Amino acid sequence: MGSNSPRERFYVFTYPRTGSNLLTHLLALDDQPNVASNAEGTRFFLPLQLLRLKHQCLGALAPALPYHQRAEQEKCLTDCFNRLLQHLDTAERDGKIVCFKDHAHYIIEPTAEARLLSGEQSAVDDAPWTLIGPNKLEQTRIGRSDLNETLFSDDFLKTWKPVFLIKHPAAAFPSFYRALVNAAGREFVESDRGWRFYQKAMSLRWVYKLYHFYLEHFRSPGQYSTDDQLPWPIIVEADDIITQPAILVKICQIIGLESSRLRFTWDKMCSDESPGVQAFRKTLFESTAIDPSRAVGDVDLEKESIKWREEFGDEIGCRIETHVREAMPDYVFLKSMRLQV
C-alpha cells in the first residue's frame, strides 16, 4: 500500500480489569510493522483520569466543578484529542493501521456521567460535551445520536472499526476495587466521590451503548461488505484470550496483524510509571506468560458474594454484589455476541 493511502482504524473499547493490557501485549502492537507507533503511548485520554486523581476530583460531576477545575479539565481534554488527531494524521501519512485500546469510561462526556451518577435534572438538560476538532470542545447536540454518550461526534466514531473486550463482572468488579484502593487509598475509594468514580468506571452501560451504536451503524445500507471476515462490531471475551490462542490468531487476521509476532512468553517488566498507574498493570508486569488459572470460568454469585463480604466487609461486599448483579444482563448479552473460532 502506498504511503499516502489511508489505512483502517481499530479502537478497542473495554472497562477496567478485563485484561486489556494483556491483550495488547499478546498482540504485540508495539512490534507490529504495519501499526502506527507513538512514543508517548496510545492511552490518549488517560491524562484526564490522572488529572482528576491528582486533584482528588475523580467522580466529581464536571458541570458542578469550580470554574478553574472545569477549565483545566477542558484543556486536558482538547490536549488529549489533539494528540489523537496527530497520531491519526501521522498514521495516514505513513500508510499504517491505527490500533489501540481505551477504557470506555475515559471518553464518556460529563453530562452522561452525571446522568448515571446523580440523575440531576440540571445535568440531564445540559448539552453534551463534544470534541469537534483541534482545540475545539463545545456543548452541542448537533451531530450526535442517543446511543452516543462519548466525547466524540457520531461521524468521528464511525471512522473506526470497534473491538469490545469484556470480562465477567464477578471477576472484574472486585479486582478493580482492590487496584483502586492500592492506587488512591481506601479512604478515598470508600468516600462518596470515590464510590461515584467506581460506579462510573465499572458501568457496562458505556460498552453496551457503544456496541449498539456501532451495531446500528454497520447494519445501515452500504456499511457491511461481503469481503469482511465477519460483521462488525466485534466482541472478545477475556477468558477466550487466556484459554484459546486461536482467538488471538483470528484477531490478527481480522485487523491485519502478523500472527507470527504474537507474544506468548516474555520477561518480567519494569515501569517508571506513577504508583497510581502501576497498580493497574502490576499483574502483567510481574508475569512471564499467560496464566490459565486467571480464566474466570463458571461463576456462582452466591458463593462469590460471601467471599466479597469476608474480604471487604459487609457494606463494600454488598455494594460490589449489587453492581455485579446489575451488570449481568448486559454482560450476558455481550458475551452471547462474542467472537468465536
Q: Is residue 1 part of a domain?
A: no
Q: What is the pLDDT of residue 41?
A: 63
The pLDDT tens digits of the residues spanning 204-222 come to 999 999 999 999 999 876 6
Please compute the mean of the pLDDT values over residues 132-138 and round it to a whole number: 92
Q: Is residue 147 part of a domain?
A: yes
Please compute the mean of the pLDDT values over residues 69-80 and round it to a whole number: 92
The domain total for the chain is 1
CB 99 within 8 A of CB 35: yes
Q: CA separation (Å) from 216 to 154, 231, 232?
A: 12, 12, 10
Q: What is the pLDDT of residue 1?
A: 36
The pLDDT-based confidence of 315 (bands split at 50, 70, 90) is very high
> For the chain, what percent of residues have pLDDT higher than 90?
61
Q: Is residue 256 part of a domain?
A: yes
Q: What is the pLDDT of residue 4?
A: 44
The pLDDT-based confidence of 317 (bands split at 50, 70, 90) is very high
105, amino acid identity: H
Dihedral angle sign, alpha carbons of residues 288, 292, 293, 297: positive
Dihedral angle sign, alpha carbons of residues 170, 174, 175, 180: positive
What is the span of the domain harbouring residue 180?
9-222+231-337
Q: Is residue 2 part of a domain?
A: no
| Averaged confidence pLDDT in the chain | 86
**In 110-140, which positions are buried (b, 16+ CB within 10 angstroms) versus exposed (e)?**
bbbbbbbbeeeeebeebebbbbbeeeebeee
Please compute the mean of the pLDDT values over residues 55-66 and round it to a whole number: 71
Q: Is residue 108 part of a domain?
A: yes
Picking from 203, 250, 269, 204, the residue whose alpha carbon sits closest to that of residue 27 is 250
pLDDT-wise least confident of 158-172, 213-227, 233-247, 278-292? 278-292
Please compute the mean of the pLDDT values over residues 158-182 and round it to a whole number: 95
Please compute the mean of the pLDDT values over residues 67-75 and round it to a whole number: 90
Residue scoring higher pLDDT (125 or 43): 43
Residue 80 pLDDT greater than 60, yes or no: yes
Residue 3 pLDDT greater than 50, yes or no: no
- How far apart (Å, rounded) are the C-alpha atoms in residues 127 and 114? 12
Residue 202 pLDDT greater than 60, yes or no: yes
Pairing of strands 161-166, 9-14: parallel
Residue 9 pLDDT greater than 60, yes or no: yes
The pLDDT-based confidence of 5 (bands split at 50, 70, 90) is very low
Residue scoring higher pLDDT (209 or 123): 209
Q: Is residue 89 part of a domain?
A: yes
CB 203 within 8 A of CB 106: no
- How far apart (Å, rounded) are the C-alpha atoms in residues 280 and 285? 10
Q: What is the pLDDT of residue 226?
A: 43
Please compute the mean of the pLDDT values over residues 108-131 and round it to a whole number: 77
Residue 52 pLDDT greater than 90, yes or no: no
Residue 22 pLDDT greater than 80, yes or no: yes
Q: Is residue 3 part of a domain?
A: no
- How far apart (Å, rounded) are the C-alpha atoms in residues 54 and 32? 34
Q: What is the pLDDT of residue 212?
A: 97
Please compute the mean of the pLDDT values over residues 81-92 and round it to a whole number: 94
CATH number at residue 272: 3.40.50
Q: Is residue 198 part of a domain?
A: yes
- How far apart (Å, rounded) are the C-alpha atoms in residues 90 and 42? 13
The pLDDT tens digits of the residues spanning 262-287 come to 998 777 766 555 555 555 666 666 66
Pairing of strands 234-237, 129-133: unpaired
Picking from 84, 210, 69, 189, the residue whose alpha carbon sits closest to that of residue 135 is 84
> Please, is 170 exposed, middle or buried when counting C-beta atoms within 10 Å of its C-beta (0-12, 13-18, 19+)?
buried
Q: What is the pLDDT of residue 28?
A: 92
CB 171 within 8 A of CB 148: no
The pLDDT-based confidence of 87 (bands split at 50, 70, 90) is very high
